[in-house]
Amino acid sequence: MSDLYNHPRYYELAFSFRDIMREVDVFEECFHKYSKIPVRKVLELACGPSPHLEELAKRGYEYIGLDTNRVMIDYAQRKAKALGIRPILLLANMTDFSLEMPVDFAYTMLGSLYAKTTHEILSHLDSVAEALNPGGLYLLDWCVNFQWDEVMGEQIWSIEKEGVKVDVKFVNEGVVGRLAQTWKNKIIAEVDDHGRIFHLENIEVSRMIFPQEFLLLIEKSGLFEFIGGWNNWNMAEPIEVAKGIERPITLIRRL
């Protein structure tokens, strides 16, 4: 057994069910509606294999990616080189980092806000605020728990491409600390790479952030204003009217 996050190619394939072009379309819809500044430079936090890199470059944006995993950073760098793209890729912790030059937009995908305490969340917001130009936006995908009234069980899916198949299971293993609001999840990937079989796992402990708590954290930071939340990457479906929650996005703006 090995850590899925140390196998970028398989990790990227496992999460390739996403419509990257549509997600970047939503980024640009947010820019047009809510950004107070022109957007040229973007920052992805916990960037992993940088799945949006190519599409963002095609649309003329400069990309900066930040991750704590050197294997992922190296993989994204090789991918960028093959595409003829020159991003900035940084090995750093999202709860405490700094950039040489500020960006105009930042985003975190698929619940990858890896902060386990209130202090770490506030430190993260401070770092993002320092990295963002005033008037710039920060988009969080699945980081605020709008589905607090629903039981999250298993999710199972399969992806196959160019002779490689990945069967993925996401399992919510329950509460770790009730006072700390931490819970554990596991991602299991069974990989068949042209007949070579691998069993890969990721186990993560995350802090659950509830909507009203998030608003209080934003207020306490004093550096952002809350813009809104939408369901399933659909700007026509505000969280307030969503029937069932799936991949909610949250948008805040740097003051």
Q: Taking a C-beta distance cutoff of 8 angstroms, is the pair 117, 95 a contact?
A: no
Domain ranges of the chain: 2-144+208-254, 154-207
Detail the DSSP E strand segments found in 50-153.
62-67, 88-91, 103-108, 132-141
Q: How far is CA 57 from CA 28, 80, 215, 219, 240, in A?
A: 13, 10, 33, 34, 34
Q: Taking a C-beta distance cutoff of 8 angstroms, is the pair 252, 159 a contact?
A: no
**Per-residue model confidence as pLDDT tens digits over 204-225:** 998 999 999 999 999 999 999 9
Q: Taking a C-beta distance cutoff of 8 angstroms, is the pair 75, 49 a contact?
A: yes
Q: Which two tokens stand for residue 238?
A: 């505000």
Q: What is the mean pLDDT of residues 226-255?
A: 96
Q: Taking a C-beta distance cutoff of 8 angstroms, is the pair 146, 248 a contact?
A: yes
**Per-residue model confidence as pLDDT tens digits over 160-209:** 999 999 999 999 888 999 999 999 999 999 999 999 999 999 999 989 99
> pLDDT category, 40, cuts 50, 70, 90?
very high
For domain 154-207, give the CATH number.
2.20.25
> pLDDT category, 236, cuts 50, 70, 90?
very high
> pLDDT category, 239, cuts 50, 70, 90?
very high
Q: What is the pLDDT of residue 28?
A: 98
> pLDDT category, 151, cuts 50, 70, 90?
low
- Sorted by sequence, the CB contacts under 8 Å of residue 55 that are 6+ apart come out as 20, 21, 24
Q: Taking a C-beta distance cutoff of 8 angstroms, is the pair 43, 99 a contact?
A: yes
Q: What is the mean pLDDT of residues 137-154?
A: 86
Q: Where are the alpha helices (DSSP H) in 149-210?
A: none
Q: pLDDT exceeding 70 applies to what percent of the chain?
A: 98
CA pair distance 123, 170, nearest whole angstrom: 28
> pLDDT category, 244, cuts 50, 70, 90?
confident
> pLDDT category, 147, cuts 50, 70, 90?
confident
CA pair distance 173, 254, nearest whole angstrom: 35
For domain 2-144+208-254, give the CATH number.
3.40.50.150
